[in-house]
Amino acid sequence: MTDIRIGFIPLVDVAPLVALKEIGFAREEGIEVSLHREISWSNIRDKLAVGLYDASHLLAPMALATNLGLAGPPADLVVPYVLNLNGDVVCATTTFLSAVGLPADAPAARIAERIRAGALGRPVTFGVPFFFSTHHFLLRYWLASQGIDPARDVRIEVIPPPLMPQAIANGVIDGMMVGEPWGSVAVDEGTASIFLSATEIWAGAPEKVFGMRRRWAEENPDAVHALLRALYRASSWAEDPGNRVTLSELLAKDAYLGLSAEVIERALSGALTRTPQGLQERIGRFMVFQDGGSSFPWLSQALWFLEQMERWGFVEITAEHRRLVRNTMAPNLYRESLSPLGVAVPSANAKLEGSLAETTPAASATGRLFLGPDRFCDGKIFDPEIAS
Amino acid sequence: MKIVVIDQRSERADLIKEALGEAGFPDVVIVAETDRLLERLAEIDPDAVLIDLEAPSRDMLEQMFEISRQVKRPVAMFVDDSGESSIAAAVEAGVGAYVVNGLAKSRIKPVMELAISRYNTFSRLQTELDAAKAALAERKLIDRAKGILMKMKGVEEEEAYKLLRKTAMNQNRRIAEIAESIVTAAELLQQ
């Protein structure tokens, strides 16, 4: 079997891909994978587009933006699998907090109130890791829900995740929304407090997806099925609390994150240290790899991102754009690959987003599927049918 | 036509600038990566940007072009319709390009081709240099191992080398690897 080349960015949510390789799930399915660390998301996208990678760790909206022709070289990507829900944190710098007269453990609502009031005398600057990222759209969603105009009251800057702590230290940004462990790294360095998590903005937000070139997927159907089966088992393994210590040791290796296993374990368990003073808080479902259909590529999630892109003026929604977005997600490929494993696969391709406050049974071929909570911070419900 | 070259390796950036000058593009500015990258680019206001794909600031640059898409001038990555094979060649060579929409394709094409060929030349030179350095390091290691053997076993240089070679052949390893284990062992025993 030839080597399947996969690109990744050093983040905790690369865990299912690391387990795929290191725990041997890929080999058990008769495939060989190699993981290649990258410095920027643009680089991953371009290398995937031109075939230097066969598949990749991708930001959920990134695959959509690529297929919409909004960024990068022409490419036709498919997303048959969601690697994780959530796992991002929103931080404020200690400099910002003291400038607006708030303590290190100030709640999100009070921070929002200061931003809204223009307490800094200039727009507040937030860092996000990429323009077409879940972070960028969730941050805007939360700001708007607090009555803050993201275009007028704040500035949003793109900074690669590993460079975020440095940007804080240099005073380039007042806050950031970033994937773990980079928020916790800043807290440990004493430069920022975590005041909100992605889970609190949208409990069911798809964060990283597994994408591949459509042509490669069509030419290698057996490899794709094997890859998705192995990935499902790897995600389930990564979700098991009993494997957390092993998983954090693996991710800590220089080839992956090159950081302490302790800071990685915090993200895996959702037991975050929120402030430099050591305020602890456990956030339920902070980063989900495999639970309640979490890895299923819902068309409704992709359409939600399209609606947000239009909301902020990055694209217009046309019939063709909707078709491109729906076509990016590949729920049938997920079903074909995983049904033989006896996995409870959803019967529908889309759902109401934001309607579930708790784990709820849903229709599936085997009748054993439970969907996880997916509420938005403002309680709104996104209906993909009405949106069309 | 004003071109910005963003590259952390100043030798390579100089190489590109020189080549572009010779090819009839004299207006080239080299920018190293800094916190002020975006401001610098706004000041320079280039028609095209060539960037090292391994530069961490690429994602920031993409944002700048996203914003300019909305407010000022639309920008395309690489050259519009430049064809899959030439984009692949650029990515493989390690160079990316951002070009202002409306700039004639015929004008940017030679720039891209030049950049790709210079990046390839540079990485070949770099590989050769790395290989030469590695060979030199190996020779030094073998010399040290020979010295250790000569001293400990009381043999001549030629005999010491034969011993290294024979051991390498027997163990199906490279002479340099055997030399390395001898040097490491000697260092450990001396402590």
- B85-111: pLDDT as tens digits: 778 888 888 888 887 666 666 777 788
How many Cβ pairs closer than 8 A exist between chain A and B? Answer: 74
What is the percent of chain A with per-residue pLDDT over 90, rounded to a whole number? 86
Q: Is the pLDDT of residue B40 over 90?
A: no
Between positions 133 and 172 of A, the ones with CB within 8 A of B are: 157-160, 162-163, 167, 170, 172
Cβ–Cβ of A42/B87 closer than 8 Å? no
Q: Is the pLDDT of residue A251 over 90?
A: yes
In B, minimum Cα distance to A170 occurs at B35
Nearby residues of A265 by Cβ (< 8 Å), 6 or more positions away: A244, A245, A248
Cβ–Cβ of B53/A170 closer than 8 Å? no
- Residue A307 has φ and ψ, to the nearest 5°, of -65, -40
How many helices and strands (H and E) does chain A possess? Answer: 18, 15
Sort out which chain B residues have CB atoms less than 8 A from A49's CB and list them. Answer: 87, 91
Integer angstrom CA distances of residue A367 from A23, A185, A296, A339, B38:
30, 42, 16, 12, 53
Cβ–Cβ of B96/A46 closer than 8 Å? yes
pLDDT of residue A32: 96
Cβ–Cβ of B56/A47 closer than 8 Å? no
> Is some CB atom of chain B closer than 8 A to the CB atom of A129?
yes
pLDDT of residue A245: 97
Query: How large is the average pLDDT for residues A322-326?
Result: 96
Query: pTM for this structure?
Result: 0.87
The CA distance from A285 to A300, in Å, is 21
* Confidence label for B68 from pLDDT (cuts 50, 70 and 90): low
Using only the alpha carbons of chain A, give its radius of gyration: 20
Chain B residues interacting with chain A (CB cutoff of 8 angstroms)? 35, 53-63, 66, 70, 77-78, 84, 87-88, 91-92, 96
The CA distance from A126 to A158, in Å, is 9
Residue with tokens 């290691």, as numbered in its chain: B141
Cβ–Cβ of B56/A163 closer than 8 Å? yes
* Confidence label for B72 from pLDDT (cuts 50, 70 and 90): very low
Q: Residue A162 corresponds to which amino acid?
A: P
* Confidence label for B191 from pLDDT (cuts 50, 70 and 90): low
Q: Which residue has the higher pLDDT, B42 or A340?
A: A340
Query: How large is the average pLDDT for residues A2-31?
Result: 96
Q: Which of B54, B56, B63 sits opposite A131 (nearest CB)?
A: B63
* Confidence label for A212 from pLDDT (cuts 50, 70 and 90): very high
pLDDT of residue A382: 96
Alpha helices in A100-252 (DSSP H): 108-116, 134-145, 164-169, 182-188, 198-201, 214-219, 221-239, 244-252
Sort out which chain A residues have CB atoms less than 8 A from B62's CB and list them. Answer: 42, 71, 130-131, 158
Sort out which chain A residues have CB atoms less than 8 A from B84's CB and list them. Answer: 50, 73-74
Q: Report the first-to-last Cα separation within chain B, whole angstroms.
A: 64
Long-range contact list for B69-73, CB < 8 A, 24+ apart?
B70/A313, B70/A314, B73/B100, B73/B101, B73/B102
Q: Is the pLDDT of residue B80 over 60?
A: no
> Is some CB atom of chain B closer than 8 A to the CB atom of A179?
no
Query: How large is the average pLDDT for residues B98-127?
Result: 80
Sort out which chain B residues have CB atoms less than 8 A from A41's CB and list them. Answer: 59
Q: In what order do the strands lie in the sheet with A192-197?
A: A154-158, A124-128, A175-179, A88-93, A192-197
Q: Which of A52, A130, A314 sits opposite B59 (nearest CB)?
A: A130
pLDDT of residue B102: 61
pLDDT of residue B57: 83
Q: Residue A192 belongs to what H/E stretch? A: strand A192-197
Number of CB atoms found within 10 A of residue B26's CB: 12
pLDDT of residue B81: 54
Residue B123: half-sphere exposure toward Cβ, Cα within 13 Å: 11
Look over chain A and give the mean of its residue pLDDT values, rounded to a whole number.
Answer: 94
Query: How large is the average pLDDT for residues B157-177?
Result: 93
Cβ–Cβ of A43/B63 closer than 8 Å? no
> Is some CB atom of chain B closer than 8 A to the CB atom of A316?
no
